[in-house]
Amino acid sequence: MSEVILEARGLERRFVTASPVFGEPTVVHAVSGVDLAVRQGETFAIVGESGCGKSTLARVLTRLIPASGGSVSYAGRDLSGLRPAEIRALRREVQFIFQDPFSSLNPRMTVGALIEEPLRTHKIGTKAERRARVAELLQRVGLPVQAATRYPHEFSGGQRQRIGIARALASGPKVVVGDEPVSALDVSIQAQVVNLLAELKEELGLTLVVIAHDLAVIRHMADRVAVMYLGEIVEQAPAHALFAAPRHPYTEALVWAIPLPDPGARRAQSRVAGELPNPTAPPSGCRFHPRCPYAIARCSAERPVLSAPDAEGRQVACHRAGELTLDGLASVQSARSDAARARFDLYRQAREAEATPD
């Protein structure tokens, strides 16, 4: 097992959303007590629904915003005590890809200047070398070299995200954190950008941390997955194991929501009811219990903690993890109902009859 490059211990991030003159301020625990360890060279995914704190976690991990508690260490070095200049120096090695390619590129800089900026900032190479590197990066992400003299608004969403990727890779980082790097793009473009990221990761030996709410994307990219719910990690496991057989009811619900390219394989349904609870007043005990179909009395009273990793490296925070058997993608393989199977057989026969010349 390769060594840990980015590690969080008991990471906390609180936001004060309202501080009245009298009374208690309203505090949102966007990230509460997160432990995770990203290993060198892997793709580590953090998934969860909107508002669960995953974007905040990504920013705290890269020190774009400071932590309220706990610690983050990169390559064994604690980031919390760093001075601003030291943090800027760290940016050479830890880079960030933003969710919205429309708002995350300075509209008044040319694409060439945007991609060159990390090199200029970290004083890498001479002017000519930097220009050559910009050209190389543009080509690598699939854009023409001529793009360097244009402005970001002249490009489509997918192209802009390629510009964002080229900018993130310019300084030769070791870790790249992507905050929903494809969720703002069209589905057809998403696949291209996901493949580009996967290729670049292999080619450059990057460690990728990808935040997403779309499990279909994660399933193709990730080596390991952490599932977040209301600021906590509820399950962490190798991707294939997590998708095949989830251990936390929330993971089951997420996996169950992945569309399968196999009509009739299962009924489209949601296994969780309701909305994400108000994060300023999280539920007692297990934060998922009000929406959990398997909740028992203990769940509302006692807060489960993430278990120690088992032989496979799986961790789960659920009181009933040992006793429940949850459905993953493994259990839906050709699980069509009899009626559905009969209907699909008829379709196939009809197609074959049509294809046969008289």
Partner 1 sequence: MSAAATDIATLPKRENRAWKKLRANPAALFGFVLVAFFIIIAVAAPILPIDSPIKTSWSAIRKAPSAAHWLGTDDIGRDILSRMIWGARASLLAGVISVAIAVALGVPLGVAAGYLRGWTDAAISRMTEALLAAPFLILAIALAAFLGPSLSNAMIAIGLSAMPVFIRLARAQTMDVLTEDYVESAHAVGVGPGALVWRYILPNIFPPILVQATLTIATAIIAEASLSFLGLGQQPPAPSWGSMLNVAKNFLDQAPWMALWPGLAIFLVVLGFNLVGDGLRDALDPRDI
Give SS3 for 224. strand
In this chain, which of 117, 214, 223, 327 binds partner 1, going by CB under 8 A? Answer: 117
Which residues in the 131-160 window bind partner 1 by CB under 8 A?
A: 131-132, 134-136, 139, 144-146, 148-151, 153
Of 100 and 327, nearer to partner 1 (C-beta) is 100
**Distance from chain centroid for Cα 153:** 26
- Rounded Cα distance, 193 and 164, in Å: 11
Give SS3 for 216. helix
Stretch that binds partner 1, among 13-21, 38-46, 110-118, 216-224 (CB under 8 A): 110-118
Of 27 and 145, nearer to partner 1 (C-beta) is 145
Of 119 and 317, nearer to partner 1 (C-beta) is 119
- Minimum separation from the CB atom of position 110 to partner 1 (A): 8
Q: Name the nearest CA neighbour of 45 among 282, 215, 300, 252.
A: 215
Beta strands 94-97 and 315-316: pairing type? unpaired
- Window 45-84: contact mask with partner 1 (x via CB under 8 A): -----------------x-x--------------------
Which pair of structure tokens corresponds to residue 24? Answer: 């208690």
Segment (H or E) for 315: strand 315-316
How does DSSP classify residue 269? -
- Window 222-261: contact mask with partner 1 (x via CB under 8 A): ----------------------------------------
Size of the site for partner 1 (CB under 8 A): 45
Backbone angles phi and psi of 350, in degrees to 5: -60, -45
- Minimum separation from the CB atom of position 164 to partner 1 (A): 8
Of 17 and 103, nearer to partner 1 (C-beta) is 103
- Rounded Cα distance, 285 and 298, in Å: 8
- Minimum separation from the CB atom of position 32 to partner 1 (A): 23
- Rounded Cα distance, 246 and 317, in Å: 12
Residue 17 binding partner 1, by CB under 8 A? no
HEC assignment per residue over 287-314: CCHHHCCCCCHHHHHCCCCCCCCCCCCC
Residue 181 binding partner 1, by CB under 8 A? no
Residue 96 binding partner 1, by CB under 8 A? yes
Which whole-number Å values give the CA distances from 36 to 62, 140, 187, 264, 308, in the listed order? 13, 32, 30, 38, 12
Segment (H or E) for 231: none
Stretch that binds partner 1, among 30-38, 124-132, 198-206, 299-307 (CB under 8 A): 124-132
In this chain, which of 53, 164, 178, 304 binds partner 1, going by CB under 8 A? Answer: 164
Segment (H or E) for 348: helix 338-355
Contact yes or no for 13/68 (Cβ under 8 A): yes
Stretch that binds partner 1, among 67-75, 111-119, 294-302, 315-323 (CB under 8 A): 111-119
By the criterion CB under 8 A, which residues form the site for partner 1? 62, 64, 85, 87-92, 95-96, 98, 100, 103-109, 112-113, 117-118, 121-122, 128, 131-132, 134-136, 139, 144-146, 148-151, 153, 164, 167-168, 171
